[in-house]
Amino acid sequence: MKIVFISGSPRRGGNTDFAVSYAISELNQTLKNADINEIVLRDLHIKPCIGCRGCMVSDWCSIKDDDFDEAFKEVLAANIIVEAAPIYWNSPPGIMKDFIDRTHAIYRGRFQRPMSGKKGFILSVAADSGFETHEDIMSSWLRVYGAQIKGRVQLLARESGDIEKSPIEMEKLKNFTESIVESTDAI
């Protein structure tokens, strides 16, 4: 079983990084046979989609000289996809949105669903607001491609370290991680 985390915070060592590390460490302890990987978008070179529509004819993104292909192939090989990102202006940060845009190559209309059978999870972090619009983008990406959304968590944190300091946020993160473990029963 393969689990992939797509980590979309521009801030190294911030709240999303903390939450993803916590979840991965718990999952590694509980799921002995799972292959768990993290794609850290800020460490990759992923160019923005240029809207060339080349992927609609060739079945894959026309931009070849960056790290997108390898990252997206890893996502497509996973049984469970966890999208993790902070909220920037009520939406995912640019690096996450750029990645999402580039996956347009597998969009073949609403009736073909290349991610069907995969389970999706969404981890969002914000200081106080914007979850609805942010999750709309994050969840529609998974849903449009046919993945089933099995869980989500909305963590409230502003400065690095805020999640660890809050028993309430830690409890939400723990429950979220448990929901990923529970979803593996059906795989």
Ligand X SMILES: Cc1cc2nc3c(=O)[nH]c(=O)nc-3n(C[C@H](O)[C@H](O)[C@H](O)COP(=O)(O)O)c2cc1C
Give the residues lining the site for ligand X (CB under 6 A): 9, 11, 14-16, 86-90, 125-130, 157-158, 160
Helix (H) or strand (E) holding 146: none
If the CB atoms of residues 49 and 87 are measured against ligand X, the closer one turns out to be 87
If the CB atoms of residues 16 and 177 are measured against ligand X, the closer one turns out to be 16
Helix (H) or strand (E) holding 42: none
If the CB atoms of residues 92 and 151 are measured against ligand X, the closer one turns out to be 92
If the CB atoms of residues 41 and 100 are measured against ligand X, the closer one turns out to be 41
Residue 136 Cβ vs ligand X, minimum distance, rounded to whole Å: 13
For residue 105, what is the DSSP state?
G
Q: By Cβ distance, which residue is nearest to ligand X?
A: 14
Residue 160 Cβ vs ligand X, minimum distance, rounded to whole Å: 6
CA distances 185 to 1, 75, 179, Å, are 11, 20, 10
Q: From CA 161, how far away is CA 101, in angstroms rounded?
A: 30
Q: From CA 147, how far away is CA 107, in angstroms rounded?
A: 13
- Six-digit token string for 82: 């966890």
Residue 181 Cβ vs ligand X, minimum distance, rounded to whole Å: 23
Residue 67 Cβ vs ligand X, minimum distance, rounded to whole Å: 21
